Amino acid sequence: MSNPPHQISLNENRHGRVGIKQMTDVESLPLLRPEIQVHYEGSIDKLGQNDDWDWWLYEDIHKKEWVICEADGPGCLWNFVVHHALIHSDPVYRFYFDGKDIPSFEIKHSEFGMKHPFVAPLADKFQPDVSRDPRLKELNFQIVRSFCPMPFVKSMKITSSVKLQGNHTTGGGWGHAIWHEYPTSDQIETFTGKEDYSRLITLWKQCGDNPNPNSADQIFPFSQTLYARKKHKIFKLEGIGSISGICLKIEPADRAVLNQVWIRIGWDGETSAALECPIGAFFGNELGFNQIGTLMQGTRKDGEMYCYWPMPFWESAIIELENRLEVNSPIKVGGTVIFKPSSVVNYPRNRAGHYRSSAYQPMALKEPNRDSHIASVWGNGHMVAGVITGDQSGCEGDVRVYIDDRGTPAVESDGSESWACYGWGFAFPPQENPASSYDGFLNQWDQWSMLRLLIGDFYPFRSNLRMMVEGGSGIKTGRDLRSGIVFWYGEPEPAMILTDYLDVGESESEKSHKYIAQESSYWELTSMFEGEYDDVPITDQGRTLSGPSEFSVKVIQANQGVILRRRSDQALCSQNARVSVDGQCVWERNWLFADRNPHFRWLEDEFFIPSSYTTGKDELRIRIEPIAQDGKYIWNESFYWVYCLYPHGDLKSHGSEDHR
């Protein structure tokens, strides 16, 4: 079935595309969204070890429920995963939106995949093969997952009817929730569970097929013999449009070929390749033992590999294949490139990004006492997929994603397989669902290749993104070999600039920013950040507030919103405050950080101030007013950074220097 011409406009970058519309319109993926922030909550071991099975924030004693996730402001929950043994209990998960006392939706652990709209393939359960591990039969261990979008206008709270605590001997509580935060609630409609998901479900059932065909698509076939150490051009076009598919069949498709035949893509005359990596990584599987696929990339059962991420360009596009094998054995390859002309899909140049990759990370042994490096990306955009392959590496290493140089991970999984929304290791390949897959050897946990798509829950960044994997044993020892890559939309220039910083507790900095906090107490802390550098102590001072603080900061008049980044002590749960700008309360949200870590206490979190409060000003007067929790004030502050969002490519005239 063909779709009508799709003239993408600026309005489609706004919140009318949150939820089902965003998930079904894959052509909108290249549109840049720097004002969106990604968040996660999950069962991360607060001691930095491997006991990633406790998940709760606090107990709601009135409802006798355990709160496992809480957020304030407009947003959308995109991904929800829990690992639990039903022999112990069948938890009920309740989703409260917009401050209502009655849940908008509730579902039992056992109902995933069956209760609308949490039905396959949007939501299902992964049950490890009990014939390969007898322990699982007795436990009735189920990993439930949902990619069902759940937008909300004001707030979100998720609870469990049981305390998700302990390893499989007590039921377990592995899991995570990933959501986006939006600057305003414009056109967002809160999830009810009665929405029509039929189009999205139909789309997700068509893995391997072109998700957005059009009768005006132009098909460019190619057939090449790839000679050793030679580059071969398979596509070149001058003009404007979008590549919407690259399909390739190669013989043999063994691991050597998948890793030594590389694809290179260049856009609009750029001197460096936007994407350059082995074809195994490009199509989502570096091992190639089994033919598995997802919605956007993978391998069909006939052996043809496919990639359907839309790839816009405005001047030119070139695709090359390179045979890096040393042996002089020609390789036959054939396939097609699908091109959409601008009459079919038209991207605004100032709001869309090119399809790119990080520099491919070849298989490497991790450094002692450090995480395995997977990807580093500089610029602005959003990550939409990642491939990680392990060799002599267990499943236990947490995937950690750091965004815009924050000291605290923006996303972290309780183990590598959990990032791909599976569980119990990589012992049961091949596995595939529309949003993730993994390959490997049966019953062999230490050689695997996984793919995770981020169609709804993409990771926006404004200056850089870094992906790491914790040591495979859950601690910083052991032998771990990993390779990988991430794919993203965007441009190499930053889209935010540091315009000011305030060092709370330092007299000169407080004086220059007209800092006032009359109801506060001074403190000094030596601790670490959770994550890779949890062995690096940092000493700083700050203030705990029992009343408001105020300070003035410099901004750029042409800003498109302002990000306040705060360093604080996260020893206690539920820091919450109202934020005002020049006497006007930012009514869209409170500044809420619901989690805590009493062991690695340093935290860096952020608050986004929409452009309606900031544009046209060169100075802002900020007021932070803590909100008491059960009569107690939790809020504290050690350092503030002030970042202004700016159109990508327009920061060259503004100097920026980070201060940490």
Average pLDDT over all residues of the chain: 92
Listed range (310-314, 364-368, 462-466) with the worst mean pLDDT = 364-368
pLDDT digits (tens, 9 = 90+) for 19-48: 999 999 999 999 999 999 999 999 999 999
Q: Residue 472 pLDDT > 80, yes or no? A: no
pLDDT digits (tens, 9 = 90+) for 545-568: 999 999 999 999 999 999 999 999
- Residues 125 and 111: their CA atoms lie apart, in Å, by 9
Q: Residue 637 pLDDT > 50, yes or no? A: yes
Q: Residue 13 pLDDT > 50, yes or no? A: no
Residue 541 CA: distances (Å) to CA of 368, 529, 602, 606 = 31, 15, 11, 19
Q: Which residue, 215, 283, 269, 196, is CA-closest to 239?
A: 269
Q: Residue 10 pLDDT > 50, yes or no? A: no
Q: Residue 198 pLDDT > 80, yes or no? A: yes
Model pLDDT, residue 537: 98
- Residues 159 and 529: their CA atoms lie apart, in Å, by 27
Q: What phi and psi, each to the nearest 5 degrees, are found at residue 281?
A: -70, -40
Q: What phi and psi, each to the nearest 5 degrees, are found at residue 539?
A: -110, 130
Place of tokens 């304030």: 72
Q: Where are the beta strands (DSSP E) in 101-226?
A: 105-108, 114-115, 118-119, 123-126, 141-146, 150-152, 155-160, 174-181, 218-226
Angle (CA) 436 442 447, round 5° = 70
Model pLDDT, residue 654: 46
Place of tokens 């939501």: 123
Task: Spell out the domains of the chain, with CATH numbers in brackets.
Answer: 37-206+358-491 (no CATH), 218-343 (2.60.120.1390), 496-645 (2.60.120.260)
Model pLDDT, residue 127: 85
Q: Which residues of 630-642 are buried (b: 16+ CB within 10 A; e: fewer)?
A: eeebbbbbbbbbb
Amino acid, single-letter form, for residue 347: Y
- Residues 495 and 15: their CA atoms lie apart, in Å, by 20
Q: Which comes out higher in pLDDT, residue 51 or 106?
A: 106
- Residues 312 and 360: their CA atoms lie apart, in Å, by 22
- Written as six digits, the tokens of 658 are 């980070």
Secondary structure string (H, E, C) spanning 126-160:
ECCCCCCCHHHHHHCEEEEEECCCEEECCEEEEEE
Span 490-499, average pLDDT: 97
Model pLDDT, residue 79: 98
Model pLDDT, residue 7: 57
Model pLDDT, residue 477: 53
pLDDT digits (tens, 9 = 90+) for 281-331: 999 999 999 999 999 999 999 999 999 999 999 999 999 999 999 877 789
Q: Which comes out higher in pLDDT, residue 392 or 79?
A: 79
Place of tokens 């639990």: 84
Q: Residue 408 pLDDT > 70, yes or no? A: yes
Beta partners for residue 262, in sequence order: 278, 322
Residue 83 CA: distances (Å) to CA of 297, 445, 521 = 26, 18, 42
Model pLDDT, residue 2: 46
pLDDT digits (tens, 9 = 90+) for 339-358: 999 999 999 999 999 999 99
For the chain, what percent of residues have pLDDT higher than 70? Answer: 94
Residue partners of 265: CB distance under 8 A and separation at least 6: 273, 274, 275, 276, 311, 317, 318, 319, 320, 355
Model pLDDT, residue 631: 86
Model pLDDT, residue 653: 43
Residue 567 CA: distances (Å) to CA of 232, 502, 525 = 50, 10, 12
Q: What percent of the residues of the chain are helix, what percent strand, and what percent coil, each to the nearest 5? A: 10, 45, 45
- Written as six digits, the tokens of 297 are 């990339």
Say if residue 269 is exposed, middle or buried (CB neighbours under 10 Å; 0-12, 13-18, 19+): exposed
Place of tokens 């994550």: 531
Model pLDDT, residue 394: 80
Determine how many CB atoms are found less than 10 A away from the CB of residue 407: 19
Determine how many CB atoms are found less than 10 A away from the CB of residue 328: 9
Report how far Cα 151 is from the mean position of its chain's Cα atoms.
17
